[in-house]
């Protein structure tokens, strides 16, 4: 059971705001903020290099924390400045050629898709979109049918940015493994919201961010790369940390996933990320997942009774991102009305998930994303506000 009072005491802004924007950037718990303040103070007292030296054990422990979160080993983790850089490092390292096929899903995130387009333009690789089933999830049978010798990558988003859909990441992993195809999973909106076990999923590469459901600081992210693949991937860009300069005309890539990192880093943010992961593990990911779903389901059921509301979430068991539109109201106007009432929610633009948005003719959708530190009363406040907004 989650001790909500204790959790909310660790989250002071939660008493002032109904904060339902965790798919954007969640509120950091106090231990994360304190960890970062301490390190900034230390840097200001003894200098950045000495501070990193003094905290080297804690900095090293961040890899262990992220590895525990994902059920893997620290040497398979690279720390990055966001999820996009993590994903790019993996994707651009893959040797794609003319005619190679990339299989992706309908709700793929914009940053990933434009990278597919760039590589397709440069190399002649082909992007193929796996259709969704009747409930809106990636259709596993269609994926199986699309596999052939030319498929050189399966790259999908587990939980898209624009709604509650949870794609069948594990079933995709089974197919990728059976056919020996590299599998890159964007888990940006999944980490911190649900159990993420790279062994159970069977992905070879996984990217995520710190600031969303993990409740870490902005400017943090990480990449997991399976050891067997790691040794074969040359990062698209390297520096002398990723690949020490061992002779005048020679570099040697590091053996671990840190070959995808660079020398200079924001150590304050890294320590904050580590504290956020430890905090999440302490609360317990399973109870977090249950509570997120309970709150999101409560919101969906309340929204369902408001005139003019269309819930836009896909999938048979949607997660903690609740997306909807209200007939006659712009999403931005709804977000502003909520803000004026002390309720923080967001919006998702069609260009973030263009294929899905075009297929469903989606306008900008309102995105409300509760987390375990929210209460039923906060959900009901949002439902009440929207009920009052729409004339009966």
Ligand X SMILES: Cc1ncc(COP(=O)(O)O)c(C=O)c1O
What residue ranges bind ligand X (CB under 6 A)? 82-84, 109, 111, 157, 160-161, 186, 188-189, 209, 221
- Closest approach of ligand X to the CB of residue 8, in Å: 25
CB atoms under 10 Å from CB of 127, counted, come to 16
User: Residue 210 CB, nearest distance to ligand X (Å)?
Assistant: 8
Question: Residue 221 CB, nearest distance to ligand X (Å)?
Answer: 5
Least distance in angstroms from the C-beta of 219 to ligand X: 9
3-state SS of the chain? Answer: CCCHHHHHHCCHHHHCCEECECCCCCCCCHHHHHHHHHHHHHHHHHCHHHHHHHCHHHHHHHHHHHHHHHCCCHHHEEEECCHHHHHHHHHCCCCCCCCCEEEEECCCCHHHHHHHHHHHHHHCCEEEEECECCCCCECHHHHHHHCCCCEEEEEEECCCCCCCCCCCHHHHHHHHHHHCCCEEEECCCCECCECCCHHHHCCCEEEEECCCCCCCCCCCEEEEECHHHHCCCCCCCCCCCCCCEEECCEECCCCCHHHHCCCCCCHHHHHHHHHHHHHHHHHCHHHHHHHHHHHHHHHHHHHCCCCCEEECCCCCCCCCCEEEEECCECHHHHHHHHHHCCEECEEECHHHHHHHHHHCCCCCEEEEECCCCCCHHHHHHHHHHHHHHCCC
Q: Which is nearer to ligand X, 51 or 83 (CB)?
A: 83
Nearer to ligand X, 164 or 221 (CB): 221
Min dist. Cβ of residue 364 to ligand X (A): 15
Least separation in angstroms between residue 112's CB and ligand X is 7
Nearer to ligand X, 225 or 386 (CB): 225
Find where tokens 């525990």 sit. 68
Comparing CB distances to ligand X, the nearer of 160 and 173 is 160
Residue 209 corresponds to which tokens in the numbers above? 């961010």
The nearer residue to ligand X, 216 or 302, going by C-beta atoms, is: 216
Query: Which of residues 109 and 267 has its CB atom nearest to ligand X in the complex?
Result: 109
- Cβ of residue 73: shortest distance to ligand X, in angstroms? 23
Nearer to ligand X, 42 or 85 (CB): 85
The encoded tokens of residue 32 equal 């994360």
- Shortest Å distance, C-beta 235 to ligand X: 17
Quick one: 63 or 91, whose CB is closer to ligand X?
91
Min dist. Cβ of residue 277 to ligand X (A): 15
Reading the block at residue 59, the tokens are: 């900095």
**Nearer to ligand X among residue 109 and residue 373 (C-beta):** 109
Cβ(41)–Cβ(389) below 8 Å = no
Cβ pair 165, 109 in contact under 8 A: no
Q: Which is nearer to ligand X, 188 or 295 (CB)?
A: 188
Least distance in Å: CB of 191 to ligand X? 11
What tokens does 198 get? 């790279």
Q: Is 294 exposed, middle or buried (0-12, 13-18, 19+ CB in 10 A)?
A: middle
């Amino acid at each position: 059971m989650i001790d909500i009072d204790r959790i909310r005491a660790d989250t002071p802004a939660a008493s002032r705001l109904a904060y339902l924007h965790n798919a954007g950037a969640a509120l950091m718990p106090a231990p994360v903020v304190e960890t970062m303040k301490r390190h900034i103070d230390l840097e200001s007292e003894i200098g950045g290099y000495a501070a990193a030296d003094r905290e080297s054990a804690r900095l090293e422990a961040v890899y262990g924390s992220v590895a525990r979160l994902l059920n893997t080993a620290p040497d398979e983790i690279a720390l990055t400045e966001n999820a996009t850089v993590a994903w790019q490092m993996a994707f651009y390292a893959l040797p794609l050629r003319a005619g190679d096929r990339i299989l992706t899903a309908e709700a793929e995130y914009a940053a990933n898709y434009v990278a597919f387009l760039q590589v397709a333009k440069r190399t002649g690789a082909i992007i193929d979109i796996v259709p969704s089933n009747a409930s809106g999830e990636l259709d596993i049978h269609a994926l199986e049918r699309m596999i052939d010798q030319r498929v050189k990558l399966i790259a999908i988003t587990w939980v898209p940015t624009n709604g509650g859909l949870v794609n069948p990441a594990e079933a995709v992993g089974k197919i990728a493994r059976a056919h020996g195809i590299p599998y890159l999973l964007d888990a940006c909106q999944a980490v911190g919201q649900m159990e993420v076990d790279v062994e159970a999923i069977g992905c070879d590469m996984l990217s995520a961010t710190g600031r969303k459901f993990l409740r870490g600081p902005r400017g943090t992210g990480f990449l997991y790369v399976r050891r067997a693949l790691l040794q074969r991937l040359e990062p698209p860009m390297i520096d002398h940390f990723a690949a020490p300069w061992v002779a005048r005309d020679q570099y040697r890539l590091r053996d671990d996933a840190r070959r995808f990192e660079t020398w200079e880093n924001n150590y304050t943010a890294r320590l904050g990320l580590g504290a956020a992961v430890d905090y999440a593990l302490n609360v317990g990911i399973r109870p977090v997942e249950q509570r997120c779903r309970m709150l999101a389901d409560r919101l969906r059921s309340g929204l369902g009774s408001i005139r003019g509301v269309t819930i836009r979430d896909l999938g048979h068991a949607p997660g903690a991102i609740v997306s909807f539109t209200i007939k006659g109201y712009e999403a931005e106007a709804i977000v502003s009305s909520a803000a004026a009432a002390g309720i923080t929610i967001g919006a998702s633009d069609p260009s973030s998930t263009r294929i899905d948005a075009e297929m469903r003719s989606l306008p900008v959708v309102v995105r409300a994303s509760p987390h375990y530190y929210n209460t039923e009363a906060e959900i009901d406040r949002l439902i009440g506000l929207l009920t009052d907004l729409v004339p009966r």
